[in-house]
C-alpha cells in the first residue's frame, strides 16, 4: 500500500487536505510531528508522497516549506489543492455554549476568532494556546466539560465533538494552499502549473530581463517572491509559479532562455492546477 504523509495529529487542516487528496485511492496516511520531518520522509523514501502547507491567504508563504524544497530535500511538487480554513467552536456532546469557561486552540486561530470570542462568550472566557487546532480538539474530547475548542469541522468528526457554532473566524476569506511532494515528475494534463526558482546577476535590469521572457512568451505568472540564497546578505532567489507544463513547447523554450541567463536555475515541479469545484 502506498503511503502519504501529513502534518499531525489527526484532525489538522493538513490531515484534511491529505484525506481529500487521497480520495477513493487506497493510501496509508502517516502523521509526522513537523514539516521538516514530513518533507525528509519523502526524501528518505519512507513515504511516496507528502501533503504540506505552502501558503495561507492571511499569513502568506510557509517559508520552511519553500526553503526545504529549494535547499534541503530532493523532492518535486506533483500536485496542489486549496482548502478553505473555516473555524468552528467545538465541545463535548451535551455541553451548551453557556457551560464553556475555557477555549483551547492554536494562537493564530484564537486571534482570527477574537471578535466572536469577545462578542458571543464575553470578556470572562479564558483562552489557552495549543500546538494546533487538532490538538485542541483532542484535548477537549478527553478534558473537562467546561472546555471548548476552536478547530475545523473535520476535527469535530475525528474526535467526536459537537459543533456549537460554525464559521466563527470573521468576515474575511481564509484559505490555505497545500502542495503534494514526491520524487516523481507528473505528466502533462493540459491544465498545469510549473514552479521554478532562479537567481540573476546583481546588475541593473537583470530581473526585468528575466521576467520579460515570460511576457514575450505570453506566459502568465501566478506568483513571484524572493527568498534568501543562504549565501551572502542581499543575495536572493526568486520563486515563480507559472501557467503551463515544462513539457509544453512554449514553456520549455522560455525556461531554456531563462536558464541560460540565470546564475542558478531549478524546476521545482510541474503539476495539475487545482480547480475549485
User: What residues are paired with 227 via a beta bridge?
Assistant: 237
Contact 185, 166 (CB under 8 A): no
DSSP helix/strand/coil, 244: coil
- Kindly state the greatest CA–CA separation across the chain: 66
Residue 249 class from Cβ within 10 Å (0-12 exposed, 13-18 middle, 19+ buried)? exposed
Q: Is 176 a catalytic residue?
A: yes
**Which one of the listed residues 176, 194, 214, 238 is annotated catalytic?**
176
Residue position matching grid coordinates 495529529: 9
Q: Tell me the three state secondary structure of residue 264.
A: strand
- Given the residues 12, 116, 127, 178, select the one marked as catalytic: 178
C-alpha closest to that of 179 among 59, 49, 48, 33: 49
Phi, psi torsion values for 183, nearest 5 degrees: -95, -5
Q: Is 265 a catalytic residue?
A: no
CB 268 within 8 A of CB 274: no
Cα–Cα distances (Å) from 17 to 79, 85, 216, in that order, read 12, 11, 36
Angle between helices 63-71 and 35-43 (to 10 degrees): 30
Active site residues: 176, 178
Amino acid at each position: 500500500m502506498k503511503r502519504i504523509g501529513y502534518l499531525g495529529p489527526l484532525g489538522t487542516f493538513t490531515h484534511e487536505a491529505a484525506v481529500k487528496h487521497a480520495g477513493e485511492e487506497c493510501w496509508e496516511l502517516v502523521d509526522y510531528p513537523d514539516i521538516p520531518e514530513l518533507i525528509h520522509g519523502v526524501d528518505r523514501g519512507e513515504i511516496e508522497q507528502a501533503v504540506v502547507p505552502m501558503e495561507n491567504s492571511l499569513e502568506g508563504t510557509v517559508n520552511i516549506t519553500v526553503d526545504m524544497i529549494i535547499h534541503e530535500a530532493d523532492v518535486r511538487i506533483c500536485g496542489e489543492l486549496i482548502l478553505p480554513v473555516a473555524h468552528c467552536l467545538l465541545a463535548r456532546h451535551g455541553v451548551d455554549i453557556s457551560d464553556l469557561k475555557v477555549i483551547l486552540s492554536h494562537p493564530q486561530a484564537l486571534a482570527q476568532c477574537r471578535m466572536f470570542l469577545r462578542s458571543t462568550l464575553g470578556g470572562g472566557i479564558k483562552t489557552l494556546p495549543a500546538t494546533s487546532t487538532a490538538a485542541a480538539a483532542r484535548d477537549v474530547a478527553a478534558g473537562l466539560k467546561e472546555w471548548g475548542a476552536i478547530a475545523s469541522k473535520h476535527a469535530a468528526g475525528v474526535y467526536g465533538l459537537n459543533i456549537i457554532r460554525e464559521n466563527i473566524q470573521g468576515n474575511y476569506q481564509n484559505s490555505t494552499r497545500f502542495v503534494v511532494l514526491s520524487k516523481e515528475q507528473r505528466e502533462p494534463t493540459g491544465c498545469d502549473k510549473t514552479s521554478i526558482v532562479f537567481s540573476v546577476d546583481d546588475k541593473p535590469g537583470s530581473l526585468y530581463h528575466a521576467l520579460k521572457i515570460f511576457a514575450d512568451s505570453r506566459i502568465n505568472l501566478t506568483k513571484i517572491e524572493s527568498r534568501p540564497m543562504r549565501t551572502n546578505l542581499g543575495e536572493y532567489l526568486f520563486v515563480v509559479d507559472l501557467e503551463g507544463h515544462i513539457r509544453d513547447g512554449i514553456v520549455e523554450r522560455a525556461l531554456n532562455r531563462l536558464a541560460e541567463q540565470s546564475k542558478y536555475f531549478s524546476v521545482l515541479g510541474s503539476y495539475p492546477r487545482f480547480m475549485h469545484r
